[in-house]
Structure 1
Amino acid sequence: MLGKLDDYLRFNETALSLRSQRQTVLASNIANADTPNYKARDFDFANALQGAMSRTGPQQALKTTAQRHFPNPQQAGDVLPDGTPLAYRGTVQGAVDGNTVDMDVERNQFADNALRYEAGITLINSQIKGLMAAIQGGQ
């Protein structure tokens, strides 16, 4: 039974998780707008979602229970923890200091991603309300 519920909510859960990770990447770009030689990063959401949906089963990180246990292996800087590759954003006009962050593009992408995240929350809420209505007999 729980497996079917997981499957029912999996798409929106995965999409929200990726939206959250993308918001973090975009926020990092904005925070480093004045950092010399910083290169703006992003990832292709559609490809990342498709890749995440094609993977079987949830991927959980190893948990350490004692101080002497080895920690999880470090992730490379060009890959998200779920394996999604990060790419450098193309530049329209480079800065003298080598920074490739275009604040107009970053703010636009940040706002768009936030709006889509909110839409995902609304979709999950409607899914849960539909499940609750089915459980309660449509009262």
Structure 2
Amino acid sequence: MSLFSGTIQTLEQSLDYASMKNKTISNNIANIDTPNYKAKDVAFKNVLQTASTSFEAKRTHPKHIAFSQTNLSTFYEVARPNTTYNHNGNNVDVDMEMTELAKNQIYYQALVDRISGKFGSLETVIRGGK
């Protein structure tokens, strides 16, 4: 039996994503004056597969791959190579980065509040509803 039906694990993976995105945005801002620096972003490797985790596929052959055997939480950094905003070849847009940072901080705080609520519910159950 899984505690909270895997919600804690999903929230943990989402916190990992938000942390990596925050680090990437911070690196972009730190390199705003670096010549030829290309801004980076964080992307999911298998967005469609992540959305389909609740589906159970009928396997008609033993060599068919089951959904549960794939790694669904992979995310990685990608560069934004085809743009140039500054005279030195740099493509970091400080306004866009600051906007993304603010959005990511709100997302991160919402995740922290949600996971805190889950643990609060567990604490209430352990205390017997008090």
TM-score, normalised relative to structure 2 = 0.71
- Work out whether 1:98 is the aligned partner of 2:97: no
1:48/1:115 Cα in 2 relative to 1: closer, same or farther (>3 Å)? farther
The structure that has the greater radius of gyration is 2
Mapped partners of 1:106, 1:135: distance in 2: 43
Q: Quick check: 1:31 aligned with 2:22? A: no
- Asked if 1:7 is matched to 2:2, the reply is no
The equivalent residue for 2:80 is 89
Identity %: 29
CA distance in 2, matches of 1:92, 1:19: 25
**Residue equivalent to 1:63:** none
User: Deviation at 1:107?
Assistant: 0.4
- Is the contact made by 2:28 and 2:92 (CA closer than 8 Å) also made in structure 1? yes
Query: In structure 2, how many angstroms separate the alpha carbons of the residues matched to 1:55 and 1:32?
Result: 40
2:47 alignment counterpart: 47
Residues 36-75 of structure 1 correspond to what in structure 2 (within 5 A)?
A: 36-44=35-43, 47=47, 50=50
Please give the alpha-carbon distance, in whole angstroms, between the structure 2 residues aligned to 1:121 and 1:105.
24
3-state SS of the aligned residue for 1:85?
strand
Counterpart secondary structure, 1:121: helix
Q: Contact conserved, 2:17 with 2:75, CA < 8 A, in 1?
A: no
Kindly indicate whether the alpha-carbon contact (under 8 Å) linking 1:18 and 1:49 is maintained by their aligned counterparts in 2.
no
Compute the TM-score of the two structures, normalised by the length of structure 1: 0.67
- Residue matched to 1:69: none
Residue type at the aligned position of 2:76: P
From the superposition, tell whether residues 108 and 122 of structure 1 become closer, same or farther in structure 2 (CA, over 3 Å): same
Give unmatched runs, 5+ long, in structure 2: 54-66
**Partner of residue 105, structure 2:** 114
Give structure 1 stretches of 5+ with no counterpart.
Answer: 59-81
Q: Do 2:20 and 2:42's aligned partners in 1 also have CA atoms closer than 8 Å? A: no
